[in-house]
Structure 1
């Protein structure tokens, strides 16, 4: 999904509420322990937590940048899917240029369009590890639905069906060899985009890097009260919670962005993009069918032009 409104604070705080509860309990226990036992002389120079905080900031900045790069790459890939989907149907329409197309050709273009629409939906659902076969009614005919039902990689199977229909169009003489090559290039770009999405999905962020950040962050939180107790006094607990929350927010943000296909508010809006593709392609095919069936001839300079 794509959120244009402000994300509710309940959602944001819900991601770190358990961490904040533990940190608050630790800070409160630390304050009571120092007060009751009168151990104010046990402190740590503030420079030590400051150095650790600086190191954590650099680590979190690197992780946030890498996570955002993954998210932005996913968005660019889906932007190319939008362009190539439109290009694919435009090629299928323009290369079969005779307005008096037969019923077989019209059905071919319409079936090609509906299959491409379903390809975008199935790819998004597969990346989110959902059932890619759901909601196939209306997009695939009975034989195609039966074929993909027995396949593991449904989007790849749909591209194979595209290639099969492309060969059939060439064998029927609807397109020539050059046009077949151009459409096949578009199918290749769609296949490349699918592979890039799978690469992002299957390449996990290094767990050792996350472990180091967690270790440094928890060490920083443990040492922070020792450096602030003589400066803050009674407001020690809320200050520690606020400082810790800032670091935890950044870490959680990076964790959510590093995998843009997990069906979260920060994900690439694949469902919305697929629906926009569906709207655009259906609009294109409706225009093509109207053009084929309702075109009127206008004679100009001894040539025939077709207008809507």
Structure 2
């Protein structure tokens, strides 16, 4: 996630450097041809005006749709934070008077839930999930997870096994077990929503149409300005092109919030917050520090 301050210009313009290079070469060629009166290149300003208006509407829709996907991802991860805390709070409240077995149970479930958050973030980014878990789960559970393609889902299944054991020992009653299971259901729903956002590709035909229209607009703009501005049209066209290309790139990054880029939903930072909270809830003395920002962004 990009932070409010300190975003370097080189990061912003690196995303569109090839497009700007192509546009710069084109407008310089048009300017030189017109300056030397080789050809009459002027066209009515109506043509780029109509194109620019149409593109503005398309980009507004595209940016809005991209932001909705990014914001939905952030809402889902907010729900994961809440449900992770709720799971441990329910476990502590429902089972606090049932003997020496409980501290180990609290630690196992809390660590497994922390592992779920780290593993889900890595899975959505297409990274290996098991290294992210570290020493949060024991050897037996780690061996079981290696047999699953979806590690976060397997971790929720292990949660379910522990809840079933609590009910069997009558350490929770059926009503409490239903509430605990409902918390697991919400966590599973959140995982599914993230996977839907990740796997639902924005229509490629729509992307191609927008990019094509932007290039048509940018390449027609010098012909409309060259008669009035001469070589002065070069910086004007470059600035206008940069604005359109930046908006289009921003929309692309917003619509894909799980791609291991600085514009991502900050899943690792959120998982670290959950890590800290759950360890403190079960009374662990040592907790990790909050994840620091990597310059101008937080992962």
Given the alignment, which residue of 166, 180, 190 partners 1:193?
Answer: 190
Q: Aligned partners of 1:250, 1:152: CA distance in 2, in Å?
A: 37
8 Å Cα contact 2:35-2:231 kept in structure 1: no
> Normalising by structure 2, what TM-score?
0.93
Q: Aligned partners of 1:287, 1:219: CA distance in 2, in Å?
A: 61
Q: Aligned partners of 1:260, 1:268: CA distance in 2, in Å?
A: 5
Question: 1:95 offset after TM fit, Å?
Answer: 0.2
Question: 1:221 offset after TM fit, Å?
Answer: 1.2
Question: 1:2 offset after TM fit, Å?
Answer: 4.8
Instruction: Identify the range of structure 1 (28-37 vs 48-57) with the bigger mean alpha-carbon deviation.
Output: 28-37
- Say yes or no: does 1:177 pair with 2:171: no
Residue-by-residue CA offset, 1:259-281 (whole Å, 9 max, x unaligned)? 00011121100000000000000
Partner of 1:28: 28
Unaligned 5+ segments in structure 2 are: 286-299
Q: Aligned partners of 1:110, 1:206: CA distance in 2, in Å?
A: 45
Partner of 1:278: 275
Superposed CA RMSD: 1.3
Question: 1:223 offset after TM fit, Å?
Answer: 0.8
Partner of 2:224: 227
Question: 1:216 offset after TM fit, Å?
Answer: 0.8
Unaligned 5+ segments in structure 1 are: 289-308
- Say yes or no: does 1:136 pair with 2:133: yes
How many residue pairs match? The answer is 285
Given the alignment, which residue of 210, 213, 216 partners 1:216?
Answer: 213
Partner of 1:43: 42
> Normalising by structure 1, what TM-score?
0.90
Q: Aligned partners of 1:271, 1:4: CA distance in 2, in Å?
A: 18
Residue-by-residue CA offset, 1:18-47 (whole Å, 9 max, x unaligned)? 11111000000111112224423x321101
Please say which structure displays the higher CA radius of gyration.
1
Partner of 2:252: 255
Q: Aligned partners of 2:134, 2:60: CA distance in 1, in Å?
A: 46
